[in-house]
Amino acid sequence: MGDILEAIARIERYTGGMHRAAFEADGKTVDALVRNQHGSRTS
């Protein structure tokens, strides 16, 4: 559960204040959001 809350907090930090068009145009932010949605644990 802690991992989920941490991922949500990161997503909010990455996208806070962005309008949809700006988000969609920012490939790095899109990649970061997708990575956090699906989990990025390597262990």
**Tokens found for residue 40:** 């990025």
Residue 18 pLDDT:
93
pLDDT band at 43 (very low <50, low <70, confident <90, very high): very low
Express each pLDDT in 17-31 by its tens digit.
Answer: 999 999 999 999 999
Q: Tell which residue, 28, 33, 30, 31, has the closest CA to residue 10.
A: 33
Spatial distance between the Cα atoms of 36 and 30, rounded to a whole number of angstroms: 10
* Inter-residue contact 18 to 29 (CB < 8 Å): yes
**Tokens found for residue 1:** 């559960």
Query: What do you get for the CA distance between the two ends of the chain, in Å?
Result: 17
